[in-house]
Amino acid sequence: MSKKINVLLVDDSAVVRQVLLAILSDTPDIHVMGAASDPIFAMDKLAREWPDVIVLDVEMPRMDGITFLKKIMSERPTPVVICSSLTPKGAETSLQAMAAGAVEIITKPTSGLKNFLLESAPELVAAIRAAAQVNVRNLGKRPAPLTPATKLSADAVLPAANGHAMAQTTERIIALGTSTGGTQALEAVLTALPRVCPGIVIVQHMPEKFTASFAARLNSLCQIEVREARNNDRIHPGLALIAPGGKHMMVTRSGAFYHVQVVDGPLVNRHRPSVDVLFRSVAKFAGRNATGVIMTGMGDDGARGLKEMLDAGSTTAAQDEASCVVFGMPKEAIKLNAVQRVIGLQEIAQVILHR
């Protein structure tokens, strides 16, 4: 029998601790080794036993979650799942936590908390399982959705191309897809780019309301402009558009220019936005004018879409295992023979600039 995942819960809400403990205690491969109402009590527990995964609130008394997280990452890097409120302040603080090395975000409302957490149990369990598989050597080095009954493909949003991709032109676009560990990886890539670079479209698996804060944070750090995509935004050099949480983003072409469509739709590969949806649209409308890179993340979203990009003449690459927090998505793309080059995180910026 495989080893259980030892989890420590740190949240100042007694309701949250009670509900999470009940949910996780019913999950056969997870063991809750303890629950603490704040980081000070948590440190007492850590002195006796160290967990595989920590589920952490970010707004707590005595010591805030960010300070605690930075202490953990400096002493003994450990996968941390952030449990954050769906508020602007909660989103901003959670993104600080992701930048410090947290690997997943689970959202919680300000009211109806107990029922929400019960309904979100599959999402929480999946986040903990994903966190338990991360490469802890890559945590903190650099400054999740409900599960449907059926796992849908990109066909549910956009039909596959039925003809040849358009001829190669001088205007290129870059498509990046990432999930667990992607916030840190995207920061490393985008901050390395000069002001003049090809237009970039990005899917980062992230909850609704968090992507705008994430884009704004990157925009403050980068030479290029970074923002959350709006429907019909034009893709142009020096701009990176991030798909909004809870929406799919697709590339289309109008005359001589590329634009994005931001649309509703079902979960694809259990995600919305989905990397497969983005990559398929790039294959269909950009073909040889595009470069696709699949980066750190759990699962297989993006693997089939990257293969479609390769078949349409796009340049394709995958982040290597050594630099990934989770090698799942790149590994699946490599298995499908969708990848021309396997590269380290520090090489991705050069691929964007020079193919």
Catalytic residue positions? 179, 205, 301
d(CA 321, CA 294): 12
Give ∠ CA 223-224-225 in degrees, rounded to 5: 125
Q: CA angle 318-322-326, nearest 5°?
A: 70
**Cα–Cα distance measured from residue 277 to residue 162, given in angstroms and rounded to the nearest whole number:** 16
Strands 53-57 and 341-343: unpaired
Amino acid at 201: V
Beta-sheet strands, E only, within 68-125:
80-85, 104-108
Task: Tell me how far apart the alpha carbons of residues 106 and 93 are, in angstroms, rounded to a whole number.
Answer: 13
Whose CA is closest to 250, among 261, 239, 235? 261
Give Cβ neighbours of residue 296 (< 8 Å, ≥ 6 apart).
178, 179, 180, 181, 182, 185, 319, 323, 324, 325, 326, 327, 329, 330
Q: How many CB atoms lie within 10 A of CB 315?
A: 18
Token pair in block for residue 211:
């992507």
DSSP-assigned beta bridge partners for residue 251: 260
In the DSSP assignment, the letter for residue 87 is S
Sheet containing 104-108, strands listed edge to edge, beginning at the edge strand earlier in sequence: 30-36, 5-10, 53-57, 80-85, 104-108
Crossing angle (nearest 10°) for helices 303-311 and 328-335: 40
Pairing of β 225-228 and β 239-242: parallel
